[in-house]
Amino acid sequence: MAAIDIRAVDKSFQKLKVLHSVDLSIDKGEFIVLVGPSGCGKSTLLRMIAGLEEVTGGEIVIGGKRVNDLPPKERNLAMVFQSYALYPHMTVAGNMSYSLRLRKIAKEKIATAVAGAADILGLAPLVERRPRQLSGGQRQRVAMGRAIVREPQAFLWDEPLSNLDARLREQMRAEIKKLHRRLGATSIYVTHDQIEAMTLADRIVAMEAGTIQQIGSPEDLYERPANRFVAGFIGSPAMNFLDAQAAPANAGHARLVTEDGLTFEAIPGLELPSSRQLTIGIRPEHVLLGEAAGEGAKEATVDLVEPTGMGAIVHFRFADISHQAYHLGRASWRAGDSVKVALPTERLHLFDATDGRRLN
């Protein structure tokens, strides 16, 4: 188990630059999740740590040792692939023991390690089978088993749950978390699924277009997103955004007026030059509807109601822009109804309209 340092790492494929000076410091035993949309460079970064892609610039340090020029086999890392990448002509035991056999470890030790891993993962009755005789979830476990038999410096996970159905994915997610608690190994996990990121991570690294947008605990990213990208990416249903302008200040506190004429009085502790353009963000679960909206609420039209069982996602419309609210419990509104909506000031996130960075 080791700490991993990524220092000013660049990556280009021919002329296309996919990573721009990425810095990331990972502690021993930490569970880091790299999250972002497709093509943001998260998988490339993981593959560079594994040694599957060359480092164009900067350096990667694992356990205090610069590994830029080391081939994968000398980095002592374990990786779980999205496709599992099991060896089809080897049994489950053969797949799990392959790395140990290559290291010429004593047969009895290998047997113990494989039996131990099979036990942890519930694969004990399947060790003599071949991958094609296993279900998707079982293959996923074998891929994990192959990683945990070797006590590597770190585990690398490349979207390991993407090929599973929703229920199995939830189950395996919980198992990965338990496994991490049990082994305490440094882990780097790549996903585009923000729920996986939120549930698994000690710290989340949100990436877009080859740069890190924010590093922080799941709560940090959810409660204080550093910019508009992170605000929009983390959270489901996604955050609502309204364009607004700062109005002449009122006793030193900012006043905001949105396009649709909503006014927010006195944002505490925020001073803004008048007429500055900005974006207001509010999470659907913080939007108050109907009775809860109370005094000063705006009228909006309900577009669509999507019940989720635990609650309902209510799509409503101010002027001509559609927004979403998450209403806990049963929603009695129907499409076309008029509904009172309130956006509580203390729940607002404010972002610069041009560069998207957080203002409050």
Partner 1 sequence: MTASASLEQAQPDRRPLKRLGLRVEPYLYSAPAVIIVATVMLVPLVIGMTYAFRDIRLLNPFSGGFVGLDNFRRLAADGDFYLALKNTVFWTAASVFFQFTLGLILALLLNRPFAGRGIAQALVFLPWAVPSFLSGLDWAWLFNPVVGPIPHWLTALGVMSQPENILSDPDLAMWGPIVANVWWGIPFFAITMLAALQSIPADIYEAASIDGAGPFERFRAITLPFLAPTIAIAVLLRTVWIANFADLIVVMTNGGPADRTQIVASYIFTTAFRRLDFGYASAIAMVLLVLLMIYSLLIVILRQTLLARA
| Residue closer to partner 1 (CB basis): 16 or 102 | 102
89 binds partner 1 per the rule CB under 8 A: yes
Helices marked H in 206-315 — which ranges? 218-223, 228-233
Binding mask 133-172 for partner 1 (x = CB under 8 A): -------------x--------------------------
Q: Does 102 bind partner 1 (CB under 8 A)?
A: yes
Q: Pick from 51, 160, 210, 284 the residue near partner 1 by CB under 8 A.
A: 51
Say how far apart CA 228 and CA 289 lie, in whole Å. 24
Give per-residue burial for 96-111: e unless 16+ CB within 10 Å, then b: bbbbbeeeeeeeeebe
Q: Which is nearer to partner 1, 163 or 199 (CB)?
A: 163
Q: Which stretch binds partner 1 (CB under 8 A): 98-106, 186-194, 225-233, 307-315?
A: 98-106
Count of residues of this chain found to bind partner 1 when the rule CB under 8 A is applied:
23
Q: How far is the CB of 71 from partner 1 (least distance, A)?
A: 7
Contact 238, 323 (CB under 8 A): no
Query: Is residue 79 close enough to count as binding partner 1 by CB under 8 A?
Result: yes
Interaction of residue 98 with partner 1, rule CB under 8 A: yes
Stretch of 78-86, 207-215, 259-267, 323-331 contacting partner 1, by CB under 8 A: 78-86
CB distance 313 to 283 below 8 Å: no
CB nearer partner 1, residue 98 or residue 241: 98
Q: Letter for the amino acid at 321?
A: I
C-alpha count within 13 angstroms, C-beta hemisphere, residue 247: 15
Q: Report the nearest approach of partner 1 to the CB of residue 35 (Å).
A: 21
Smallest distance, partner 1 to C-beta of residue 156, A? 8
CB of 274 to partner 1, least distance (A): 56
Among 13, 54, 87, 236, binds partner 1 (CB under 8 A): 87
Instruction: State yes or no: residue 241 binds partner 1 (CB under 8 A).
Output: no
Q: How far apart are CA 351 and CA 228, in angstroms?
A: 6
Distance from chain centroid for Cα 143: 21
* CA 222, 236, 354, 248 torsion-angle sign: negative
Among residues 183 and 304, whose Cβ is nearest to partner 1? Answer: 183
Q: By CB under 8 A, is residue 103 in contact with partner 1?
A: yes
Cis peptide before 237 (omega within 30 of 0): yes
Element (H, E) at 140: helix 136-148
Q: Is 81 in the site for partner 1 (CB under 8 A)?
A: yes
85 touches partner 1 by CB under 8 A = yes
Q: Is 71 in the site for partner 1 (CB under 8 A)?
A: yes
By DSSP bridging, strand 31-35 and strand 203-208 are parallel
173 — phi, psi (to 5°)? -60, -45
What does 22-42 look like in DSSP terms, one character per residue? Answer: EEEEE-TT-EEEEE-STTSSH
Query: How many Å apart are CA 266 and CA 256, to the nearest integer?
Result: 8
Q: For binding to partner 1 (CB under 8 A), which residues are involved?
A: 50-52, 71-73, 75, 77-79, 81, 83, 85-89, 98-99, 102-103, 130, 146
